[in-house]
Amino acid sequence: MKVAVLGAATTQFGELWDISPRALVREAVSEALLASNLRITDIDALYVGNMLSGILGGQENLGAFFAEELGFAGPAFKIEGACASGGLAFYNGAVAVRSGMFERVLVVGVEKMTDHKPEDVALGLMGAGSDVERQAGITFPGLYAILARAHMEKYGTTEEELAAVAVKNHFHAVLNSKAHFNNLITIAKVLASPKIADPLKLLDCSPISDGAAAAVIVSEAVAQKGQTPVWLIGAGVASDSLGLAGRKEITSLSAAKRAAKLAYKAARVGPRDIEVAEVHDCFTIAELIALEDLGFYEPGKAGKALLREELTLGKAQHLVVNPSGGLKACGHPVGATGVKQVVEIVSQLRGTSGKRQVEKTRIGLTHNVGGSGAVAAVHIFQGKAGSGKGKG
């Protein structure tokens, strides 16, 4: 059974001190339902993607929590997979619709992080790491710095190439009114920013953010009655070891490669068919590795492509990456990120992205990673009904 996204929406991302998680979810859901021409009573099931509500907010029962808030009495689930929680919630919602169990599913991603001390947030995020990593006192900037250093040593990747990721994504975020950061930066500014975990600097890192996003997934029968459905044509999820020490290699993320392979096979397309992508750039090295894991570039080649601005809106010949600004500049409220990626791709495929619209795009991809690559979710979308066959 084919499934589609009807309505999809995000709130503002950023330091939203005076807005509660309840209000964030109400805003995103109201807009997504309105765009779907549906009411909450039309929804068959609710899936909530979130990572830190128990650690930071003392509330783990988010399915029931937001069902109550939204006036929903049906089945409701919390899905947690670290920073891939939103992508996994979307995946589970889509599987449920495709199975025939439900016809209309509401997926929500939400996180409220800035109300808490940075050290508490860092400790909570390390819940996605291995026991050994936590005992060693390392944090995720340190883990991704290890990935960056390994990539540099194997392929000659430079700090300037990493910085080009941040420059591109800030350029895109300037065009996104809902982004956490709306400022242009330069490679020189990235290189001059304070070191967090060598070789990663402050401007190589995504921020702590608040925000919510929502998407309505429906069956083919329901989609045919709606306006401009965007079809989910391929999806894949895969896992790996929690810690880096358990990996065969650390210059790529095996879970992401396996998830992408599954998604491409299901969609019957290949990397060259993708015209717009939202990838998981929690750190600049993460985007560079993602570009290679997804097959857009051979290993060791993505950095130079970034310096040539091959993936930048207005300059790209074929593929634009992270037109929303990505995690780096749009923001990274971890449970919301995977759903926000879907919202951006849906907007792009409908041609409603305004100043950041990628021209003549038909097929888009999302790539959401949990931890340092312990889990990954890849989804492929098509902007109009069809078989999904491509050049692949």
Name the 3-class secondary structure at 344: helix
In a domain, 130, yes or no: no
Q: What mean pLDDT, rounded, does the chain reach?
A: 95
Q: 1 falls in which pLDDT band (50, 70, 90)?
A: confident
Name the 3-class secondary structure at 42: helix
Q: 55 falls in which pLDDT band (50, 70, 90)?
A: very high
Q: Return all residues near 137 (Cβ < 8 A) that are at least 6 apart.
A: none
- pLDDT tens, residue by residue, 38-54: 999 999 999 999 999 99
Q: What is the mean pLDDT of residues 333-352?
A: 97
Distance from the Cα of residue 104 to its chain's centroid: 22
Assigned token pair, 86: 């939103």
Position 339 scores a pLDDT of: 98
Question: For the domain that residue 26 is a member of, what is the CATH number?
Answer: 3.40.47.10
Name the 3-class secondary structure at 43: coil
Based on the fold, state whether residues 172 and 281 are members of the same structural domain.
yes
Domain that holds residue 199: 138-207+233-382
Name the 3-class secondary structure at 229: coil
Based on the fold, state whether residues 151 and 276 are members of the same structural domain.
yes
Distance from the Cα of residue 213 to its chain's centroid: 11
Among 223, 247, 277, give the residue marking a domain's end. 223
Reply yes or no on whether the pLDDT at 392 is more than 60. Answer: no
- Is residue 51 a contact partner of residue 43, using CB atoms and an 8 Å limit? no
Based on the fold, state whether residues 62 and 76 are members of the same structural domain.
yes
Based on the fold, state whether residues 68 and 180 are members of the same structural domain.
no
Domain count, the chain: 2
The catalytic residues are 83, 332
Residue 143's closest CA among 286, 254, 260, 278?
Answer: 286
Reply yes or no on whether the pLDDT at 375 is more than 60. Answer: yes
Based on the fold, state whether residues 189 and 321 are members of the same structural domain.
yes
Position 386 scores a pLDDT of: 38
Could you please report the per-residue DSSP string of 106-148? EEEEEE--TTS-HHHHHHHHGGGS-HHHHHHT--HHHHHHHHH
- Is residue 38 a contact partner of residue 204, using CB atoms and an 8 Å limit? no
> Is 0.85 surpassed by the pTM of this model?
yes
Based on the fold, state whether residues 170 and 295 are members of the same structural domain.
yes
What are the two backbone dihedrals, phi and then psi, of residue 294, each rounded to the nearest 5 degrees?
-80, -5
